[in-house]
Amino acid sequence: MMPLSVKLNPAISEAAEVLEKAVRSRRFVVAVGDCRVDYEGRASSTLDWGDRVTMIKQDGSVLVHRPVGYEPVNWQPPRCLVKVSIEDPGALVITASRNQPRETISIEFREITLLATGNLHDPGEFALHVTEEQMKRAILTAPELVEEGLKPLEAEKSLGEAGFTDIYAEDNRGNLVVVEIKRNAATKDAVLQLQRYLETLRTTVGRPIRGIVAAPQLRKGAQPLLESLRLEFVMVPPEKCFMVLKSRRDMKLSYFLT
Amino acid sequence: MMPLSVKLNPAISEAAEVLEKAVRSRRFVVAVGDCRVDYEGRASSTLDWGDRVTMIKQDGSVLVHRPVGYEPVNWQPPRCLVKVSIEDPGALVITASRNQPRETISIEFREITLLATGNLHDPGEFALHVTEEQMKRAILTAPELVEEGLKPLEAEKSLGEAGFTDIYAEDNRGNLVVVEIKRNAATKDAVLQLQRYLETLRTTVGRPIRGIVAAPQLRKGAQPLLESLRLEFVMVPPEKCFMVLKSRRDMKLSYFLT
DNA sequence: CCTTTCAGTTAGTTA
DNA sequence: TAACTAAGTGAAAGG
């Protein structure tokens, strides 16, 4: 990778110079130091003096991280305008703003311990397996994951106002079946969503319709609701979906190999 | 602040030593380098080689940031177990795992450009203003934000199964009023939630009941639903709430000062 | 500990 | 661009 420019305990004026240049040429910045942060936008916040890690990313994202916790305490999303200035002598201020919504954070440093800037080269592909989308593909590929004899008619049937069903199918006794897929334990909300789909469909379709929640698990609180609405739950473990997708990939592979 | 220990382009073995010690004594770690990441847990993911910034926080959180985007590409929440090991010579691996749910990420470095460790001292207080809670307090303080003559009866009236209303009030014609507050543009969901409250209330209360969504804005898609359910929308800008809370704070202050 | 709800949610997809 | 929905959502509050 390209070498980083690293300054230890730079003077505020020197830090400003380096930062200014890095921001202008859209380089990555990591700054560790004693700062305070103000935010004004959808809400507003203040954060008093303390040691934090600030990152300015190559797309203009700005993140301020405290020494604990998963989330940044303050931030600005990609494509914001970053400016560097010296307000008082001895006070370096980074301002990051965007419109729509109009938001600004300003980070004021009174001491910078570490300032590293450089170009990070990251071409690596990221792949996340078994999302809800993939569960749907798996069920469309192998409907027996939900029920033997299930025949998918449409994925994502539109119901106008009410939204989209995950899977719209037919069982082997001629009932229509709406399948609502969740990759996590299904909540009441999932059950209510399915119910809304069914209500909408029943106003336009004369045939009997079943509603099935397909998920790895059903939340305790969702069980009574499910029963009272006469809906069904089928456990579909993500691993099985993964196997289906994997075997499909393997088939494809063998198809190309033979 | 306590000085950072900073290594530039350390050998993998030296980096492992420094990291191991830092993790053991729960110090903050920032590492910039060429790595790949695997994750296995609720889902699973792989990330190929590239330059990233990895932080290990003092509470055990682990974050891997690509050079773009707000979110970490991989992470582990606070209180996970972090281990450092050398797998192949020239390959440093950081493993972070937790139970409940059982999850692991492993970060394999083949090159480390910058390794900084130290104790960050961050006592600064963080204050976020005008949350939904504060909007509620503002409306309870100044009900005219919603409607002239509105008299709050209860905040958070419990409706059993159906949840809690934000504000339960009475208008100047003797109607009951349920106010649903959103700090952002109100969605269909907000309208449906309000509708559920009203349905529940109407089974037990004989008086006419109005339902009002109080929010800075109403989402377009929520408008027809609102009308069809005969509910109302009142625009309540967060700035006005902020002013009400501010003036209340000022009053309190003057109360203490006089 | 489990469940519910909110978030300055962010991010992705589609009309 | 706006709206809608999922997320390895995370975090807080309540039972």
pLDDT of B134-151, one tens digit each?
888 889 889 999 999 999
CB B125 within 8 A of CB B45: no
Contact criterion met (CB < 8 Å) for A4 and B114:
yes
CA B180 to chain centre: 21
CB A23 within 8 A of CB A62: no
Mean pLDDT calculated for residue range B149-173: 81
Q: Which nucleotide is nearest to B72 (CA to C1')?
A: C10
Within chain B, residue ranges assigned H as helices are 12-24, 132-141, 188-204, 222-228, 238-257
Which residues have C-beta within 8 Å of that of residue B49, sequence separation ≥ 6? Answer: A124, B34, B35, B36, B110
| Three-state DSSP string of A107-144 | EEEEEEEEEEEECCCCCCCEEEECCHHHHHHHHHHCHH
CB B95 within 8 A of CB B105: yes
Q: Which residue has the tokens 């916790």?
A: A69
Please give the Cα distance from A251 to A245 (Å, whole number). Answer: 10
Encoded amino acid at A169, one letter: A
Which pTM does this prediction carry? Answer: 0.89
Characterize B105-120 residue by residue with b for buried, 16 or more Cβ atoms within 10 angstroms of its Cβ, and e for exposed: bbbbbebbbbbbbbbb
Q: How far is A34 from chain B (nearest CA, A)?
A: 7
Per-residue pLDDT band at B118 (split at 50, 70, 90) = very high
Q: Contacts of residue A46 in chain B, CB cutoff 8 Å?
A: 126-127
Mean pLDDT score of chain B: 89
**First-to-last C-alpha distance (Å) of chain B:** 41
Q: How far is A246 from chain B (nearest CA, A)?
A: 14
Query: Residue B234's closest CA among B133, B139, B108?
Result: B139
The reply to whether B79 has its C-beta less than 7 Å from any atom of strand D is no
How many CA atoms lie less than 13 Å away from A140 in the CB half-sphere? 13
Tell me the domain boundaries of chain B: 5-118, 132-256
Please give the Cα distance from A168 to A155 (Å, whole number). Answer: 6
Interval B8-38: pLDDT, tens: 999 999 999 999 999 999 999 999 999 999 9
CB B33 within 8 A of CB B52: yes
A71: pLDDT strictly greater than 50 = yes
Residue B204 pLDDT:
84
More confident of the two residues A48 and B205: A48
Per-residue pLDDT band at A254 (split at 50, 70, 90) = very low
Residue B159 pLDDT:
67
A154: pLDDT strictly greater than 80 = no
Residues facing A32 on adjacent strands: A53, A114
The reply to whether B216 has its C-beta less than 7 Å from any atom of strand C is no
Please give the Cα distance from B112 to B23 (Å, whole number). Answer: 17
Percent of chain B with pLDDT over 90: 61
A258: pLDDT strictly greater than 60 = no
Q: Contacts of residue B111 in chain A, CB cutoff 8 Å?
A: 1
Please give the Cα distance from A187 to A198 (Å, whole number). Answer: 17
CB B136 within 8 A of CB B245: no
Residues facing B84 on adjacent strands: B94
Per-residue pLDDT band at B116 (split at 50, 70, 90) = very high
CB B200 within 8 A of CB B159: yes
CA dihedral A219→A225→A230→A235, nearest 10 degrees, is 0
Residue nearest to nucleotide D1 (CA to C1'): A100
Residue B96 pLDDT:
98
Please give the Cα distance from A130 to B200 (Å, whole number). Answer: 39
Specify the 3-state DSSP secondary structure of A250: helix
C-alpha R_g of chain A = 27
Per-residue pLDDT band at B251 (split at 50, 70, 90) = low
Residues facing A55 on adjacent strands: A30, A63
DSSP B153: E
A76: pLDDT strictly greater than 60 = yes
The nucleotides of chain D lying under 7 Å from a protein CB are 2-11
Contact criterion met (CB < 8 Å) for A28 and B114:
no
A253: pLDDT strictly greater than 90 = no
The reply to whether B136 has its C-beta less than 7 Å from any atom of strand D is no
More confident of the two residues B98 and B246: B98
Q: What angle do CA B212, B213, B217 make, to 5 degrees?
A: 140
A170: pLDDT strictly greater than 70 = yes
Per-residue pLDDT band at B158 (split at 50, 70, 90) = low
**Whole-number Cα distances in Å, A201 to A178, A197, A215, B191:** 9, 6, 22, 21
B217: pLDDT strictly greater than 80 = yes
Per-residue pLDDT band at A30 (split at 50, 70, 90) = very high
Q: Which of B32, B46, B126 sits opposite A47 (nearest CB)?
A: B126
Residue B253 pLDDT:
42
Mean pLDDT score of chain A: 90
More confident of the two residues B206 and A120: A120
Q: Which of B55, B69, B113 sits opposite A78 (nearest CB)?
A: B69
Looking at CATH, the fold of the domain delimited by B132-256 is given as Trna Endonuclease; Chain: A, domain 1 (3.40.1350)
Encoded amino acid at B160, one letter: G
- Tell which CATH architecture fits domain B5-118: Distorted Sandwich (2.70)
Contact criterion met (CB < 8 Å) for A70 and B65:
no
The reply to whether A183 has its C-beta less than 7 Å from any atom of strand D is yes
